[in-house]
Chains A and B, each alone.
Chain A
Amino acid sequence: MAYAYEACGEPILSVRNLEVSLKTSVGELKATRGISFDICPGETFAIVGESGCGKSISSMALMGLLPRIATARADRCVFDGQEILNLSRRKLSNIRGNTLSMIFQDPMTSLNPVYTIGDQLTEVFLRHGKGNRKQARERAVFLLERVGIKNAAERLGAYPHQLSGGLRQRVVIAMAMMCRPKLIIADEPTTALDVTVQMRTLALLAELQREFGLAIILITHDLGVVASLSDRVAVMYAGQIVETAPTRQLFADPTHPYTQGLIQCIPSYEPPNPDAELHTIPGMVPSLIGKQRGCAFRNRCSLAVDACGEGDEIALRELGEGHAYRCLQPHDALVANWRLLQGESA
């Protein structure tokens, strides 16, 4: 199966056919069309895609944080031996922040401005009955020091507005670590940060992961972040995983035409040809309202044929070693297309 690359024994999270739909005034919007993946303990799994592809809403569904207008269903959604989808609030709140925690994009909105960071850090610990106040405080100081905040004991009394954006995101990371989680869902953890701070924050995440054996789901739109941090990656387009592969493999042999286009249109650091146009993907994302048929990318794809619009969905094709893609074209035709794209920019 392409869902998990290595036989890692028991996956920490196993998702099969997760579907999230939103009721809107113009009809039902299928935010995800059946996504499946396994996360092994200690690995970083990146979900990459552009806005509206369903990457954030699927993690919201896992955390039980969907808005009221949304409904989620799945064949299977097992975290740490327990089915977590549509769990009661009470049961969910025993998991959230405990064995499963989340890091959001904007540290200014994910921290409460009227409580000190000490209060917010210890609250999680106390809420989940991990120990008394003294132990909570010790754990908070230990983690703040671990994420590189100097004078941690004093900083516990600081309010979020007294910290810079990079420090705030470090506090959020420390908070996610308070109860020794097995899995952290990081939704665009560095998008709101400056470039020099982004790199340090990613390096910190990688270190913490090695040290504590965490699994991370990294949700991002930035292929640079994917390349530098993740072990495996899933590329999402219009609510589907269109390609999944070990990260090295994805960049060495991008197979789905959307993945190829996405990699190609990054204004890369290397080729400085002043007259070369940046590669673009023509057209735009289709509407997700109503029933979807065939491949969602077909109207932007140079390789599309009539058959791409037929059937409920395009089947996932396996290439071995955990690499699979959702396209009718055979692998060698897609490899040829990638060479062509690269020739265009050279």
Chain B
Amino acid sequence: MLDTHADTILSLRDVEVTFPLRRGLFSKPGALHAVNRISLDVQRGEFISIVGESGCGKSTLAKTLLGLQPATAGTISINGKDLAAYSRKDLAHQVQPIFQDPYSSLNPRKSVASNIALPLILSENPPASEVRDRVREIMQMVSLPQRFEHTYPSQMSGGQRQRVAIARALITKPKILICDEPTSALDVSVQAQILNLLRDLSRRLNLTSIFISHDLSVVRHLTQRIAVMYLGRVVELGESEQVFNSPRHPYTQLLIRSILPPDPTHRLPTLVWDGGGPDPTNPPAGCHFNPRCRYAVDRCRVELPALVEADGQQVACHAWADPAKWRAAGGQIPQLS
């Protein structure tokens, strides 16, 4: 991961985003590490997913990549240039977002065409005729009929609105698309349309897409690589198929077991209630996952595991750092089933 490829478009090094916390007037100020030392290289044209549950920092990471939330430590570079060195206008030509809720992310008082045109006008301000042509071109690209030009978002369905949001993201011809749960507010039949469209567009335009989701089954269909986040850290990173077929980290295994397939013969696994996710303002010592992990040993409660290479995947788990030693010490190797 640390060797820089020639065609790396986005590169993160030890990125941290920390929010100061103050619980009470006289208490000691604390800190919430929403994103904790994340390093990642993304290749041009790659479709990569970041998966995790609420509070794991995936949306904060998205905001940081969009320049909406400054990183408190570490560096992010896009095309070899530091993110902070980009002006807002230049950044708009590099990175564009698609947000979860197409009901709140579009301006309800502007027509579809003005909603789509806004990033273009702000960044390039071309003559009105060019704006119109480019809006029409992009609407065609996302399969929005031209008759929608002068309608308002409130007159459209969720799927159509999300197409507007995609068109708006693409109008400045960005290199990187950050999709933050773009389909979780949509119905399944519409979700499939939007996922197909996103995949299609990213191939056609050679876009680099970062797809943030809590839903592993959606991600599997789209992406080449998956990064699993837990409490601000990447706990597993690897090729999509490999992560699905042989998940290493106990948390990834838990996520995969939690998928409910549309199959009535599938039995609900009997799991004891583990209290759910821990408090991100007060993460457990050692490996953050240890209170929920059935493989945890004393070492896991003290020492934070580093992200290490294990058969082409990267895993932050003591069991996989040196499986032979782990077994010799009486530990069990985490298994999916």
Which residues on A are within 8 Å of B, measured CB to CB?
A: 50-51, 148, 150, 164-167, 194-200, 202-204, 206, 221-229, 247-248, 250-251, 261-263, 265-270, 272, 277-281, 284-285
A221 touches B187 (CB 8 A): yes
A165 touches B189 (CB 8 A): no
B276 touches A202 (CB 8 A): no
Proximity bits, B229-271, A CB within 8 Å = 1, else 0: 0000000000011001000000000110111111111111111
* Chain B positions within 8 Å of A229 at CB level: 268
Q: How far is the CB of A2 from chain B (nearest CB, A)?
A: 18
A228 touches B268 (CB 8 A): yes
B53 touches A228 (CB 8 A): no
- Of chain A, the residue at the smallest CB distance from B271 is A200
CA distance A244 to B9 in the complex (A): 51
- The answer to whether B195 has its CB under 8 Å from any CB of chain A is yes
B276 touches A251 (CB 8 A): no
- The answer to whether B196 has its CB under 8 Å from any CB of chain A is yes
B268 touches A272 (CB 8 A): no
CA distance A50 to B186 in the complex (A): 9
Q: How far is the CB of A232 from chain B (nearest CB, A)?
A: 11
B270 touches A203 (CB 8 A): yes
- The answer to whether B214 has its CB under 8 Å from any CB of chain A is yes
- The answer to whether B332 has its CB under 8 Å from any CB of chain A is no
- The answer to whether B159 has its CB under 8 Å from any CB of chain A is yes
A196 touches B254 (CB 8 A): yes
The one of A200, A206, A261, A278 that contacts B273, using a Cβ cutoff of 8 Å? A200
The one of A150, A165, A225, A265 that contacts B260, using a Cβ cutoff of 8 Å? A225
- The answer to whether B123 has its CB under 8 Å from any CB of chain A is no
Chain B residues touching A, range: 35 or more
B196 touches A227 (CB 8 A): no
* Chain A positions within 8 Å of B45 at CB level: none
- Of chain A, the residue at the smallest CB distance from B267 is A228
* Chain B positions within 8 Å of A270 at CB level: 261
A223 touches B265 (CB 8 A): no
CA distance A268 to B191 in the complex (A): 13
B262 touches A266 (CB 8 A): yes
Known: A199-B260, A202-B268. A280 touches B276 (CB 8 A): no
B189 touches A281 (CB 8 A): yes
B268 touches A194 (CB 8 A): no
* Chain A positions within 8 Å of B216 at CB level: 195, 269
Known: A267-B195, A272-B220. A164 touches B277 (CB 8 A): yes
The one of A194, A224, A248, A285 that contacts B259, using a Cβ cutoff of 8 Å? A224
- The answer to whether B217 has its CB under 8 Å from any CB of chain A is yes
The one of A150, A247, A267 that contacts B218, using a Cβ cutoff of 8 Å? A267
B220 touches A165 (CB 8 A): no
- The answer to whether B309 has its CB under 8 Å from any CB of chain A is no
A284 touches B159 (CB 8 A): yes
* Chain A positions within 8 Å of B217 at CB level: 266-269
Q: How far is the CB of B204 from chain A (nearest CB, A)?
A: 14
The one of B159, B221, B264 that contacts A278, using a Cβ cutoff of 8 Å? B221
B276 touches A194 (CB 8 A): yes
A251 touches B220 (CB 8 A): no
* Chain A positions within 8 Å of B267 at CB level: 228
* Chain A positions within 8 Å of B276 at CB level: 164-167, 194, 196-197
* Chain A positions within 8 Å of B4 at CB level: none
CA distance A267 to B240 in the complex (A): 15
- Of chain B, the residue at the smallest CB distance from A246 is B264
A265 touches B270 (CB 8 A): no
- The answer to whether B149 has its CB under 8 Å from any CB of chain A is no
CA distance A206 to B270 in the complex (A): 11
B54 touches A165 (CB 8 A): yes
- Of chain A, the residue at the smallest CB distance from B158 is A51
